[in-house]
Amino acid sequence: MKILAVIPSRYASQRFPGKPLTLLGDRPMVQWVYEAAKACPIFEQVVVATDDDRIAHRVRQFRGEVEMTRSDHQTGTDRVAEVASRYPDYEVIVNVQGDQPFVNAKMLTQLVQPYLDGQRPHMTTLACPLQESAYADPNAVKVICSQQQHALYFSRSPIPYFRNPGPAPVYHHLGLYAFRRDFLAQYADLAPTPLEACEGLEQLRVLEHGYTIAVSQTETAVPEINTPDDLTHAQSFIAQKVAS
């Protein structure tokens, strides 16, 4: 099975402009993500997808592969879909988010494991156990699953409502996605949906249109970088890893 990893990367982030080129330790963020994806042996090719010449130039400097895209994409997945259309021989396309510098090969393999096992969900994503302290945090996206480990709903709100005590299939959603290539082409043509707009979560578009998202499990989350404050925490995370 041929698997392509695409890293959508844009300069004009609303919360953190220039984030892909921000130094994390001794390397820009985009290089951290690229090197993490390259370390995953199941990916036959890894490509950065961007509409910004500054990002493209930096990727070429560290000898990474880059594809230029249109500048009018509304989501990172739309950018991934444009690049995937240029690689027709790949069966599975992975969207490795540019805010995940600490993602690792084990997590990326877990993400695509349903495909490696011969299943054919429209797409997959990754989740881990939800810490109690994150249950009410709108920045920690929750996902509830069916008994078949298919996503039922994603939300920034605390879900489900525990009228009765007991376990529930709620997890901390991690923003990594893999797609069957035929569905990724369909996804790019799906109209935005009300719940997607309400929650600000693009994966809800898939569920609202009636498609399936298989949820793979990993042990724990790794730090994401969405704001300058997150960058400060990430620098501390690196220092702790070096010290240990």
Q: pLDDT (tens digit, 9 = 90+) per residue, 17-51?
A: 888 999 998 899 999 999 999 999 999 999 999 99
Distance from the Cα of residue 38 to its chain's centroid? 16
Identity of the amino acid at 83: V
pTM assigned to the model: 0.92
C-alpha 176/C-alpha 178 separation (Å) is 7
| Secondary structure (H, E, C), 146-186 | CCCCEEEEEECCCCCCCCCCCCCCEEEEEEEEEEEHHHHHH
Spell out the residues 6+ positions from residue 5 whose beta carbon is closer than 8 angstroms to its own. 37, 40, 43, 45, 46, 47, 94, 96, 108
CB 8 within 8 A of CB 79: yes
User: Do residues 112 and 180 lie in contact, with contact meaning Cβ atoms separated by under 8 Å?
Assistant: no
Residue 25 is predicted with a pLDDT of 87
pLDDT digits (tens, 9 = 90+) for 116-162: 999 999 999 999 999 999 999 998 999 999 999 999 999 999 999 99
Q: What percent of the chain has pLDDT over 90?
A: 77
Range name among 82-96, 125-139, 185-199, 215-229 with the lowest pLDDT average: 215-229
The one-letter amino acid at 213: I
| Residue 242 pLDDT | 58
CATH of 3-125+173-243, one of 3.90.550.10, 3.30.342.10, 3.90.75.20, 3.40.50.970: 3.90.550.10
Coil, strand or helix at 219? coil
Decide: helix, strand or coil at residue 7.
Answer: strand
In degrees to the nearest 10, what's the CA dihedral of 86, 87, 93, 97? -50
> Scanning the structure block, which residue is given the tokens 């009228």?
163
